[in-house]
Amino acid sequence: MSLLSRLRHPRSGVSPDTTPDDPATDLPVAPDVEEPPAPEPVAAPVPAAPAGIPCPSCARIVDPPPARARKCPHCRHLIVVRRTDGRTVYLTEAAVEVFEAERQREADMAMWTAQRAEWLRLAHGVGAAEERARRIAARPVSAEAVAEARELYVAGSARAIKAADKARSWDIAARYGREQALALYRDAGSPVPPPDEIRAIHATAMAALLRGLEGTGTHAEIVGGTCCAACRRDDGRAFVIKAELKADRLPHADCPHGLCACEWWIGGTPFKRKRRRRAPTQV
């Protein structure tokens, strides 16, 4: 059959695009088969970390780690154990001094930062020089910066008390004086009895309270303190204001709290001592 007849008679079973001699017509057609998934890579085993710690002197593993200072079993040098920030640190003897110095430096920096901030806060409350306060705050934190901030507050407080006294604003003078006495008392470590200069500042503030009460009457009453026998003894008692301005009764000298919380208030019933009755004479 000629090529033309093959094209005209497709029933012959021969594709018009192929010939009997074409080898592609004799190849079987493979069915579609899904390829198996590639195997997942297997991770290499991770070696277990040693249970001990490296010796700070020879770097050989010490297992179990020492709980307290002891010698390394390999090099026989002392391993010093310290704990900081919730973790354990292992040191050589030579490194202990550096470690302790660094810990002390960090503690000092934290303390100085808090103290400087507190003195500057108090200085702002009494109207101290803002420009100088900004210069102190901008300096690196140190004991000298703390002392300068303290000096700024004390000087500003003294000026504010003097101005309040001059204006006869006795309540303001008393408040500034008590705040200054308490701040200096805490800075001194709250000793009992308080230093004389601190007690004098507090007593001057109490006198300012009395002067503010002179216009309300002739007597003032002690209120507020029940912390000790001396404070309980005077609590609620009224005294003559003019006499108390010279008596220097508050703060109570024998109060175990150093600077007691007692203060003067508007006068009540004057205190009168009870007169003892004489026993009848036996005849």
Encode pLDDT of 74-109 as tens digits. Answer: 999 999 999 988 899 999 999 999 999 999 999 999
The answer to whether residue 34 sits within a structural domain is no
pLDDT (average), residues 230-244: 91
Whether residue 77 lies inside any domain: the answer is: yes
pLDDT for the residue numbered 274: 53
Whether residue 117 lies inside any domain: the answer is no
Q: Is residue 195 part of a domain?
A: no
Overall size of the chain counted in residues: 283
Residue 245 belongs to some domain of the structure: no
Could you tell me if residue 66 is inside a domain?
yes
Contact 79, 66 (CB under 8 A): yes
Sign of CA dihedral 264, 213, 184, 247: negative
* pLDDT, position 44: 65
Helix (H), strand (E) at residue 108: helix 93-125
pLDDT at 224: 78
Query: Which whole number is the average pLDDT over 38-47?
Result: 66
Per-residue model confidence (pLDDT) at position 15: 47
Stated pTM of the model: 0.69
| Residue 110 banded pLDDT, cuts 50, 70, 90 | very high
Query: Is 63 within the bounds of a domain?
Result: yes
Q: How many whole angstroms separate alpha carbon 172 and alpha carbon 160?
A: 9
- Domain extent at residue 84: 54-91
124 within domain boundaries:
no
CA distance 15 to 88: 86
- CA pair distance 230, 193, nearest whole angstrom: 14
The domain tally of the chain equals 1
